[in-house]
Structure 1
């Protein structure tokens, strides 16, 4: 599995292109904005976009999802249905954060824990990791030991839990019980630089192993 991180929106959200090297079939994960930039990279790399994947329903992760899906004639998959209220609140989110207007939408299909997404010859496993939002998903490429974790975990930090229906204890549970058991995985967070689960277990001030003895 190959990937390219494309920072988008004023929040510099990590939109990620994933593709199968043999077939050049691709998915775009969390296209929060700047669709022209994303389309340019798809064209430059000669990729065939197969789907749009969403980790959760916050505006900076989904703002260009409908435009990307319609322009390529593909489906939007995810997040988990528990984030449907965030997708319905997109007009309010746009107004609050000063983004261009974004209409509410429903994905082609909500995803659940245990779903497997095929991109050419590659597969992504779906994990439900609530806490930052109730319907937050993580996409895991086991063969490449790579995870796209959205706003669950960051290099040196964790996701905010001061939003409606966020839950701090639930977030910690998701990280410790869903992510850590995957092993020494490299991860692409929703914002900022990549890291590894091993590094965060050692030094992340919020979830490092020593905190939980």
Structure 2
């Protein structure tokens, strides 16, 4: 599995282009905006987009999804249905955070704990990781020892829980009971900022460090 991290929008949200070496099929995780730039990277790598994957319903992560789907004919998948209210209120989110106006939309498929998503010969497992939002998910490649965790966990930080239906205790539970068991060696791509690994964050993240 190969990947490129493409920060987009003034929020510098980490959109990820990931693909299967064997089939050249690809997915975009959290296309928050700058769709032409994302399409240019797909073309540059000689890939065929087969999936648009969303970790949660905040505008900086989903703002380009509907346009990307419309231009490519590729369906939108995820997150968990508990984030449906965020898709329904996308126009209000745009006004609140200063994004250009966007219409509400509904993903073609919601995801649940235990689902899998295929990208060519590669497979991603779905983990329901509520806290930052109630329907947040993480995606995990056991083969690559790599996870996409959206806004649950960051390098030396954790996700905010002061947005509507955020829950701090649920967030900590998601990290400790869903992410840590994947293994200290697992690297992760967060929704913003640099990559890290679960071992480093478990040991030294000031919000999570074990005594």
Distance 1:55 1:147 in 2: 11
- CA-based RMSD of the aligned residues comes to 0.5
Distance 1:32 1:178 in 2: 25
Tell me the equivalent position of 1:111: 111
Tell me the equivalent position of 2:101: 101
Tell me by how many angstroms 1:70 deviates.
1.3
Tell me the equivalent position of 1:204: 205
- Structure 2 stretches lacking a partner, 5+ long: none
Distance 1:207 1:24 in 2: 38
Q: TM-score, normalised by structure 1?
A: 0.98
Tell me the equivalent position of 1:171: 171
Distance 2:11 2:104 in 1: 20
Q: TM-score, normalised by structure 2?
A: 0.99
Instruction: Tell me, yes or no, if structure 1 residue 92 matches structure 2 residue 71.
Output: no
Q: What secondary structure is seen at the aligned counterpart in 2 of 1:172?
A: helix
Tell me by how many angstroms 1:209 deviates.
1.8
Instruction: Tell me, yes or no, if structure 1 residue 128 matches structure 2 residue 118.
Output: no
Distance 1:103 1:10 in 2: 20
Tell me by how many angstroms 1:207 deviates.
1.0
Instruction: Tell me, yes or no, if structure 1 residue 190 matches structure 2 residue 198.
Output: no
Distance 2:19 2:55 in 1: 17
Tell me by how many angstroms 1:102 deviates.
1.1
Tell me by how many angstroms 1:88 deviates.
0.7
Could you list the structure 1 runs, at least 4 aligned residues long, displaced by more than 4 angstroms after superposition: none
Distance 2:161 2:155 in 1: 17
For residues 2-81 of structure 1, what are the structure 2 equivalents within 5 Å?
2-81=2-81
Distance 1:138 1:209 in 2: 22
Tell me the equivalent position of 1:180: 180
Number of residues paired by the alignment? 210
Distance 1:7 1:86 in 2: 22
Distance 2:134 2:145 in 1: 25
Tell me by how many angstroms 1:124 deviates.
0.2
Q: What secondary structure is seen at the aligned counterpart in 2 of 1:109?
A: coil
